[in-house]
Amino acid sequence: MAKMMGPRFKLCRRLGLNVAGHPKAME
């Protein structure tokens, strides 16, 4: 996941989950 620490990660984070689709990862 560290390799995808790009705009896509932040974009998905705004939706409530990371690139992996884990809402738990959104700390």
Global pTM value: 0.20
Q: What is the distance between the alpha carbons of residues 11 and 27, in angstroms, rounded to a whole number?
A: 15
Q: What is the pLDDT of residues 1-27, one digit of tens each?
A: 556 566 666 665 666 555 555 555 544
pLDDT of residue 6: 66
Q: Domain residue spans in the chain?
A: 1-27
Q: What is the distance between the alpha carbons of residues 5 and 23, in angstroms, rounded to a whole number?
A: 16
Identify whether the C-beta of residue 17 lies closer than 8 Å to the C-beta of residue 26. yes
